Structure 1
């Protein structure tokens, strides 16, 4: 079973990416991550390291707190 927080974080990344009209490939270019890694993050299949979360925050011009502002259901 996937962890709820990984799914929510992935949804947050996907929402931010789409709001900026970026493809996964374009976000990969901006962050320096592989396109497959972006997809795995968005699907909640990877647990990103803190340094990678910071890269996402910078890519979206957000603070870490802003990037990590989302609801998590802890009942899963």
Structure 2
């Protein structure tokens, strides 16, 4: 499978025989947003990732880039996770857990 969020989104959308417009309608966002995610490889908010995953019948982690999808090296991934708009309390718990190791 593709490596970036946009590549994964496009691959899974095509695998489900959905147009950008159809996926956008299922998720409740604009077709332009789908296009932006696919082309610019920006990562949407976690709530949108969840809705996209539901529409594509995959786990939310299946949409994430490989470097965000690995369970190891959490401290190195925290800046990327922040981009996903993780709530501060969860971020603090993740940080505490990595410091204990």
TM range (shorter): 0.7 to 0.9
Quick one: which of 66, 71, 74 aligns to 2:66?
71
Map Cα deviations across residues 44-74 of structure 1 (whole Å, 9 max, x no partner). 2533111111111111112223333x534xx
More helix by share: 2
How well do the aligned residues superpose, as a CA RMSD in angstroms? 1.8
More relative contact order in 1 or in 2 (CA 8 Å, sep 6+)? 1
Distance 1:10 1:55 in 2: 15
Aligned pairs for 1:12-31 within 5 A? 12-31=8-27
TM norm structure 1: 0.73
Unaligned runs of 5+ in 2: 68-101
Aligned length: 65
Unaligned runs of 5+ in 1: 1-6
Q: CA deviation at 1:24?
A: 0.5
**CA radius of gyration, larger in:** 2
